[in-house]
Structure 1
Amino acid sequence: MVAPRVTPGHVAVVGSTNLDLIAYTPRIPEPGETIIGDRFVMGFGGKGANQAVMARLLGAAVGMVNCVGDDAYGELTRANLSGFGIDVSHVYTAPGPSGVAPIWVEPDGTNRIIVIPGANHRLTPGQAAAAIAGFPTLDVVIGQFEIPQEVTVAAFAAARERGATTILNPAPGAGVAPELLGACDWIIPNQVELAHLLDGEADPADDAALLGARRRIGCGLVVTLGEAGAALVGSDDRVLRLAAPRVAVTDTTGAGDAFVGAFAFALAAGLDTATALRLGIACAADSVTRPGTQTSFPRGDRAAALLAQACSGA
């Protein structure tokens, strides 16, 4: 269900798919220590897949561009995406294991994640470019750092040729290739990732520093700030800060991906950036109230209510 005055657009995600192996633990063990955890959950993740799912749950037509392994995890991943109604015609298969992500979650929702890319790193620039060129309609393309940057460069170049908006989520934090940065319309780091991009030189709490960061980066900038919300600097060089609602936190895993997927949905639907920022914050905040990754994302009537609220300016 979507808000009555919103016409969903078309989003392609070029990125990772992983099987999440989530351990809920009373605390993180010390080196050499073994402790008893609370419970274990196996679910679907990968930053690319998570962002695709969030955009789809809000109503966008979504295509996934990725590579999985020729194992049971790959088959499960493809079936999971299809179950959400995501186009998997450009999810390729390569010999070897699919990507996995062991995740440790503490009682306050804080998480630690190790990504083992597997087949995610087998996707080629040629495959990505051909996939982007092949979608019948396209409004927004999302990329991240869980696949090789040269693949995202090729995808964004193909997106630019089609007039689609490009969004880069530079996670996990790393330096960004100049040719990739030059192909971005929007970049969405968190505070740690912003420090990686700018060698620690930007304080996201300082408006002047964010303005300087946007000019240095050369594209629209959104910094996610966790429980403090997010800040946006567009081409008008104005800083827009919005707070996050206060919620009872259960698990923060995937919250940043919920933000990116929702922000991309809004841009693909032709909504303004302030609405996109509100929607991203709302979906991320809602997701942390439930355990899991994709399973925690708002859907159905809840997703529709958050969209309607964001469109109303509330």
Structure 2
Amino acid sequence: MKARNIVVFGGAHIDRRGRISGATAPGASNPGRWFEEAGGGGFNAARNLARLGHRVRMIGPRGGDAAGDMVAAAAAAAGVIDRPFVFLDRKTPSYTAILENDGNLVIALADMDLYALFTPRRLQQRATREILAVSDLVLMDANLPQETLTALVEAASGDGRLVAGIAVSPAKVVRYRECLAGLDFLFMNEAEARAITGAEAAAVEEWPSLLHAKGLRGGVVTRGGRTAVAFDRHSACIAAPPALSALADVTGAGDALASGFLAARLAGSDLAACLRHGIAAAVLTLGSPFAAAEEMSAEAIEQTLALVPAAEMLS
């Protein structure tokens, strides 16, 4: 596989996750365990793509604190070229989640105010423009402000490079509305697809047409353990994730799917193969206690593909 130049813009912060030990008791104290690591949608994808053999630069705002140092150390460990904008008088953003015993999310709190300071003006700096110019893939997440995402899509378009986005959450995915037509792919779950389209519910086969109608050229809609759909300007396909006996943690699975999909796309794979590679990367992450699985590699994905059912093309 040829190494490609990739730049990721977006969240690189601290993930704190509490996992309930037994049955969840709402409104009560629940025994469990606490875990903390570097995370963020963009940063998870950046680490995955670096472990898949690509040259990855990560650009985003960060505080001048111990949490920011933890993120920098995690970038170095994964082989990511770290290029943060550091605000020395601010704290690094954080995401705090409570998970059920089976790994599914109960509720989460995102303290992300610092990302609002990543304005379009930051994209005009010479070093950033030079990184954009040599990148084969520009990936962003919706932690950034709407105007910054729009400016970034405009700056990244052209020269044959891929431009892609990660939804992050239903509340944040709507920040892409002004630039959907400039994205080659947007990675989202069904709740995020509903936020973009306004559709109350849809069969899996309907998402491509609903999202095309909003201007999106391509994307992937995941549905937990149910069938996922991928589409581009010319085709669409569906594939079911394999049944798993246990989940270590759902955190980062969507970011991993985006990473596996995009790595396959950069290698020239067709849409069905890209979706299966994305699902395989997500399976690796679901079996890991970390949001970016340390065992992620091209070889591990190839082995995991044996578990992923064939994709079905849609008319």
Q: Does the pair score TM above 0.5?
A: yes
The answer to whether the 8 Å contact 1:101/1:114 transfers is: yes
Among candidates 264, 275, 278, match of residue 277 of structure 1: 275
C-alpha contact 1:202 1:210 (8 A) present in aligned 2: no
Q: Does 1:91 align with 2:84?
A: yes
Inter-partner Cα distance in structure 2 for 1:128 and 1:28: 44
4+ runs of 1 displaced by more than 6 Å? 311-314
2:60 match: 66
1:182 is matched with which residue? 181
By how many angstroms is 1:132 displaced?
A: 4.6
- CA-to-partner distance for each residue in 1:225-276, whole Å, 9 max, x for gaps? 221242112212x330011122222211110111112222222333332222
5+ residue gaps, structure 2, are 311-315
1:103-133 CA distance string (max 9 Å, x none): 2121111023221114333222122354552
What runs of 5+ residues in structure 1 fail to find an aligned partner? 1-5
Contact 1:8 1:265 in 2 (8 A): no
**Secondary structure in 2 aligned to 1:189?**
strand
Find the counterpart in structure 2 of residue 171 from structure 1.
Answer: 168
The amino acid across from 1:126 in the alignment is: R
Q: 1:200 deviation in Å?
A: 2.4
Say if 1:279 and 1:297 are closer, same or farther in 2 by CA, change over 3 A. Answer: farther
Is 1:121 matched with 2:120? no
In the alignment, what sits opposite 2:95?
101
Partners of 2:237 and 2:271 within 8 A in 1: no
Residue of structure 1 equivalent to 2:313: none
Mapped contact 1:9–1:269 kept (Cα < 8 A): no
Q: State how far apart, in whole Å, the 2-side matches of 1:176 and 1:299 are.
A: 30
Query: 1-side partners of 2:30 and 2:253: how far apart?
Result: 27
Asked whether the 8 Å contact 2:242–2:309 carries over to 1, the reply is no
Change over 3 Å in CA distance of 1:161–1:217 after alignment to 2: closer
Contact residue 64 and residue 86 of structure 1 kept, 8 A = yes
1:44–1:254 CA distance, 2 compared to 1 (3 A): same
Q: What are the within-5 Å matches in structure 2 for residues 13-92 of structure 1?
A: 13-25=8-20, 26-31=22-27, 33-37=28-32, 39-88=33-82, 90-92=83-85
CA, structure 1 residues 110+262, in 2 after alignment: closer, same or farther (shift >3 Å)? same
1:148 equivalent in alignment to 2:141? no
- For 1:177 and 1:57, locate their aligned partners in 2 and report how far apart those are by CA, in whole Å: 28
1:37-89, Cα deviation, whole Å (9 max, x unpaired): 2x21111111110111111111111110101001111122122112211111x
- The answer as to whether partners of 2:47 and 2:79 remain within 8 angstroms in 1 is no
Mapped partners of 2:24, 2:123: distance in 1: 38
TM-score normalised by L of structure 1: 0.87
2:184·2:217 contact (CA, 8 Å) conserved in 1? yes
Q: What is the identity, as a one-letter code, of the residue corresponding to 1:145? A: A
Instruction: Name the SS of the counterpart of 1:115 in structure 2.
Output: strand
Give the Å deviation of 1:35.
2.7
Within 2, Cα distance between the matches of 1:259 and 1:166? 16
Amino acid at match of 1:92: F
Q: How far 1:297 sits from its partner (Å)?
A: 5.1
Give, in whole Å, the separation in 1 of the partners of 2:265 and 2:274: 7
Equivalent in 220, 223, 241 of residue 222 of structure 1: 220
Matched residue count: 301
Task: Report the secondary structure of 2:276's partner residue.
Answer: helix
SS at match of 1:282: helix
Q: Distance in 1 between matches of 2:152 and 2:189?
A: 23
Q: Percent identity?
A: 25
Which deviations, in whole Å up to 9, do the C-alpha atoms of 1:16-38 show, x marking residues without a partner? 0121111111344533x32322x
| Segment drifting more, 181-190 vs 20-29 | 20-29
- Cα RMSD for the two superposed structures: 2.4
Identify which of structures 1 and 2 has the higher relative contact order when contacts are C-alpha pairs closer than 8 Å and 6+ apart.
Answer: 1
Using the alignment, how far apart are the partners of 2:90 and 2:31 within structure 1?
Answer: 32
The one-letter amino acid of 2:118's match is L
Counterpart contact for 1:202–1:213, Cα < 8 Å: no
> What's the TM-score once normalised by structure 2's chain length?
0.87
Matched, 1:133 2:133: no
| SS of equivalent residue, structure 2 residue 16 | strand
Per-residue CA shift, 1:128-153, capped at 9, x if unaligned? 35455222621111112112122222
1:279 deviates by: 0.9
